Structure 1
């Protein structure tokens, strides 16, 4: 090939990555089967072998070509993202895009029928390869997902997918598919026109062969007159574009370049001559790959992929043989326990939820039914009934006797939790036990257990249905098998597990503590709640610190701050202002009043409470608000460095991933340590010293301690080092 992505170090010999055979006369079958990959990706060796196969097809001119996977549920995982991350030169990216375009164009122009018969994950470049074929047959299987998720990595589908999909399904559908980066289930993909035909996995290759050899007529997707009218009418496209841009502005705040480039290119696609597709996509891809947003989003994606190994441990073969936990008990029918139980039942586990309060159980069942109806609304009634029935309830812990795992989610009280676990050891002797505690020591909780090695922390975040992070906390006695079983539960739920040391607040809550308390301190000093929250959203946070305090609950935040103070001392000393605000009728969103007034009618943004000034030391002013968000942010950054220094997580990459997934920290910035690298360690040290000096002058010992630059950061500033450079080198070597 003229140009390819960087090759993996363990690249096989030419011809080894693509299997070619002739299952019957006149039919050539191409199967990606690289020996150096457990799951095939479109890397340099495979693309080169595919080019050689196309040359052979052009010469031999078979009647049909079938492109299929190793198995009906395994085709291609898209492009080699590790290789893309190593390229920042736009010229290299443009050259690669043009090269792959020429290859896919040759596939499209082959003098025979080419059928893609695929299943399992078919994302990005894999789907773009399918779009170059005459017909796409998709395995109708729950494991199958297909789409173009490139915008989630700060990119666009640049191997012809942007233009081919737009021509295939029309501007509105293509915009939604590419901008959301959604991976569609088979039935929705067929309904939208992304694929031509569905079939059971066991018939996939037979149907593909029949279509390729003409034994069955090719399915042709009919876009309909409406799509044609929109695509060919520039005025209508302009209206669609304005509406889409407005939505993008509201959703991204203008921080993510890729969606805006996609919007522009898709709107123009219907009128772009075929010969210009490659150049337009190449230039756009080159421009995007050089952005920090792209690099940071790819780092987050690679981090999530790496965390999937937590469920394997050192002995992958042994881990693969151990079945996942299918019978799971949950103790505690409150918001967290009910959410965990519902998520587990929706994932396919048989779940029993226990609570002494029958009313709590009834509310949990009602909430689960609602979640099932929403999540499985496109599935049949049988699937909805099965998901509903997988959650049962009881008031007696003896009913959990056959559980593989039991997850505790009762009140944050050490004695209460210990009594629950003592009873669970008696009633479920073969179960591994896990606690959803957010503030108590896993080692202390396990202290009186007969089998502490089978005990682990499994900290979910609220709301369980939406928050993608689970902190997996190993106590001093937790064995590897229990830790891996807990990580696998998180993975089964589609969440990202991160291994965290057993320290007060674990990781995410430890970092949120000084961030939120500094916000309370600034509020007491007269900062404007609304202006600080606007500054946070402008930075890229999903919500400001005061909005977050209301969301969490002022009482919960107060309890957490006391716990952190007990664990870390002066720098975590809670500001007294929050205590004055907390009242049974003023706990934040759940009571309708906190820093904001939360009306039952879902207004776009809640309005600040009218009486806030009475809780402030002086009236709000623009001067007191100017650097308030920066102070909150830098308090978080300093605690992030301390956490890394203490080994709370294994690497800078894991820390950033956990904070982004657990707090919503601006993903395009990559996380707190990415942000420090971007600003520069020396500048961050200077800002911290400035905040610390201001606190010292004000006689605030807690503020001085909070902003004291961590030793690791000072050392890095002196040496001109960054956090992520070493991490990336290790990741590249592992890939």
Structure 2
């Protein structure tokens, strides 16, 4: 035994290795995956020091005892580290560079056996060894730009020298996980083998290097010297890349372009100087708001998934699902279930509706085939998981039914009571409703404890969120089963309590209310859209209403007005939407709303300006005012954030993390801002309350802060723990 720690062991001569070969194995005892936490880095430092002092070694193999190799740094430590400031971050980076450089400089050949995911710091560690062998099922990547960062442990230095600057820029800026075949083609790894042959292949490479057949010293020199690119080649490689990457990333995500600049600036330098350039750039990104919020987003996502996992572990698996209604939503849910290998019945009362649902499913499967996501055999198999039916004949064997018929209380009552008589006593019923109270929908059911809401978002195959809604009589088993089913079909479920609009729509409609008030005061809806899209929304409120559909927005707005009359009962908030409905301008589905829609070459609706819509909106304005960008943002964001706070205070949603993730996954809240509650904290609660009070004085209760929020502002409280706390 050369070294023994809690996460790392180093031994001589394990398995087929001779006594001259050392094996360093990562296996964090307290975790399901390996991460490079500060404690693991400390162990690695000790282990590498011990390796350097060991006599008679002729090679080192680095591997993992877990399914994944190393999934990266321990992201839970990032906020605390970043809060310590520039010098603390620099010290950490220098320490890791010193360790990885020591591995690279060991006086014998080294190889990494990549048995599973090797991401971020795990990938960078493997780049420090002379060779890499990869299992067929493993993946390799540097996803740091997705956290608003860039590779800081040598990835920006070593990868371009291994696979070329252009390929490295694509890997780093894109942040994708790369399959073994791609990694081999690019030159990032030296061999791809079956998982069973991984260790033997790694040891074979060490033997060939020791015998002089493979020149490991030349490999090291290549990684440590400047890139072999002339000035013209550099300009062609990097200048065009910066423009392309900036266009893909957008103005709110600076890390991908910063990473390209690091590779460019370090291209003419040796290892140590290039790493210093990488370190300085990493620190700049780490101290920015985008990285803070995207790291927070990652942590929130992990917390939400952990909560969902706790629910799912209490549930019986859903082996057979069913969907009532083969319309847009029902067909989408049925496709999603079948695409994840969960058999599903799709029932409707009309044969033409069934055929339309099947046609949509086939189209979506065909797109998967075109993109190489499915083979023809897999497509055929998954289509067999979707069975259309006009009767309840097979419903006795169904574990969970999703009702997705028209958004009408009487229709849903009739369908739910009918299906309850046709399923087994333990079957779970769920309603895909966006507005109707789950408690009211359960009124006619004999087993209301087996009923809950399951609100999907459109289009189902793209939107990750599912709201699982607990009514007054909903039992834990129903919630657990519905959460388990949502996870099984690839969705992120968030459990919320019943109220008008549940969580996402309840928060969204005050945003629309603020937009309605702006229209009443003469704001230009196209300018409002532009401002909010620059703020970070995927589409502005007018465009979003067109996509939602004016009739749907009108119905949901009326539900909100009935449920929260003081804040959402003002007719002015809905006047423009009502006028659109009256003029049959329902949005994209009717070809006209705030904008007109024309099909592009791919058959997708493309918005264009429509003078009739502009005249209609202008004619409804009670006054004409000019608004600054800051005023437009405040008028829309303040009511949205306040309603999020109220949902948290009312117990509609359990945690700030769940609230923020629901808005990001459900309505596209700008991810780089971290969610409504993160945005509030970035603004400063005291400043936000003051702004809201000023707006409430002019515009009414929609903008009035809650008393609890006022108290939080006075006492310096937060929704999230302070970084480093």
TM-score, with length taken from structure 1? 0.87
Counterpart position of 1:700: none
Deviates more, 1:643-652 or 1:477-486: 477-486
Whole-angstrom CA distance in 1 between matches of 2:356 and 2:228: 48
- Alignment check: 8 A CA contact 1:330 1:408 kept: yes
Counterpart position of 1:340: 333
Matches within 5 A, 1:41-60: 41-58=35-52, 59-60=54-55
SS at match of 2:599: coil
Counterpart position of 1:580: 579
Counterpart position of 1:325: 318
Counterpart position of 1:355: 348
Residue 174 of structure 1, CA deviation? 2.0
Stretches of structure 1 lacking an aligned partner (at least 5 in a row)? 1-12, 223-229, 696-703
Aligned mate of 1:146, from 135, 140, 148:
140
Cα 1:388–1:231, aligned 2, differ >3 Å: closer, same or farther? farther
Whole-angstrom CA distance in 1 between matches of 2:180 and 2:625: 53
Counterpart position of 2:539: 543
Alignment of 1:398 with 2:393, yes or no, is yes
Residue 381 of structure 1, CA deviation? 2.6
Whole-angstrom CA distance in 1 between matches of 2:189 and 2:354: 43
Matches within 5 A, 1:184-583: 184-214=178-208, 232-313=229-310, 319=314, 324-376=317-369, 377-378=371-372, 379-429=374-424, 430-573=426-569, 574-582=573-581
SS at match of 1:725: coil
Alignment of 1:623 with 2:623, yes or no, is no
Residue 151 of structure 1, CA deviation? 1.0
Whole-angstrom CA distance in 1 between matches of 2:607 and 2:233: 35
Whole-angstrom CA distance in 2 between matches of 1:428 and 1:196: 56
Aligned mate of 1:40, from 7, 12, 34:
34
1:658-697 per-position Cα deviation (integer Å, ceiling 9, x unaligned): 21222222222211122222222222222222222223xx
Deviates more, 1:85-94 or 1:187-196: 187-196
Counterpart position of 2:684: 680
1:611-666 per-position Cα deviation (integer Å, ceiling 9, x unaligned): 12233334996715753342111111221221121122122232122212222222
SS at match of 1:203: helix
Whole-angstrom CA distance in 2 between matches of 1:137 and 1:621: 68
Counterpart position of 1:706: 702
SS at match of 2:397: coil
Counterpart position of 1:648: 652
SS at match of 1:19: strand
Please report the RMSD computed on the Cα atoms of aligned residues, expressed in angstroms: 3.1
- Alignment check: 8 A CA contact 1:470 1:498 kept: yes
Residue 231 of structure 1, CA deviation? 7.0
Deviates more, 1:595-604 or 1:169-178: 595-604
Deviates more, 1:437-446 or 1:149-158: 437-446
Whole-angstrom CA distance in 1 between matches of 2:535 and 2:32: 39
Cα 1:640–1:41, aligned 2, differ >3 Å: closer, same or farther? same
1:156-213 per-position Cα deviation (integer Å, ceiling 9, x unaligned): 1111112222222222322222222212344444444443433333333343333344
Counterpart position of 1:699: none
Residue 571 of structure 1, CA deviation? 1.4
Counterpart position of 2:71: 77
SS at match of 2:430: strand
Aligned mate of 2:9, from 11, 19, 32:
19
Whole-angstrom CA distance in 2 between matches of 1:148 and 1:428: 48
SS at match of 1:709: coil
SS at match of 1:653: helix
Deviates more, 1:32-41 or 1:550-559: 32-41
Alignment of 1:717 with 2:716, yes or no, is no
Deviates more, 1:38-47 or 1:445-454: 445-454
Deviates more, 1:662-671 or 1:196-205: 196-205
SS at match of 1:678: helix
Cα 1:540–1:171, aligned 2, differ >3 Å: closer, same or farther? same
Whole-angstrom CA distance in 2 between matches of 1:474 and 1:406: 16
Alignment of 1:637 with 2:610, yes or no, is no
1:8-32 per-position Cα deviation (integer Å, ceiling 9, x unaligned): xxxxx97121133422324433221
- Alignment check: 8 A CA contact 1:105 1:132 kept: yes
SS at match of 1:85: helix
Aligned mate of 1:613, from 601, 612, 615:
615
Whole-angstrom CA distance in 1 between matches of 2:626 and 2:494: 40
Residue 78 of structure 1, CA deviation? 1.0
Deviates more, 1:675-684 or 1:622-631: 622-631
Whole-angstrom CA distance in 2 between matches of 1:277 and 1:348: 48
- Alignment check: 8 A CA contact 2:332 2:461 kept: yes
Whole-angstrom CA distance in 2 between matches of 1:187 and 1:362: 40
Counterpart position of 2:223: none
1:450-488 per-position Cα deviation (integer Å, ceiling 9, x unaligned): 333332322221122222222222223333343233223
SS at match of 2:669: coil
Whole-angstrom CA distance in 1 between matches of 2:526 and 2:118: 44
SS at match of 1:30: strand
Counterpart position of 1:225: none
SS at match of 2:647: helix
Whole-angstrom CA distance in 1 between matches of 2:56 and 2:350: 72
SS at match of 1:510: helix
Residue 247 of structure 1, CA deviation? 4.2
- Alignment check: 8 A CA contact 2:266 2:273 kept: no
Alignment of 1:183 with 2:177, yes or no, is yes
Cα 1:52–1:525, aligned 2, differ >3 Å: closer, same or farther? same
SS at match of 1:138: strand
TM-score, with length taken from structure 2? 0.89
- Alignment check: 8 A CA contact 2:448 2:473 kept: yes
Whole-angstrom CA distance in 2 between matches of 1:409 and 1:472: 14
Stretches of structure 2 lacking an aligned partner (at least 5 in a row)? 220-226
Whole-angstrom CA distance in 1 between matches of 2:310 and 2:356: 38
Whole-angstrom CA distance in 2 between matches of 1:637 and 1:270: 45
Deviates more, 1:95-104 or 1:244-253: 244-253
SS at match of 2:112: strand
Q: How many residues align?
A: 697
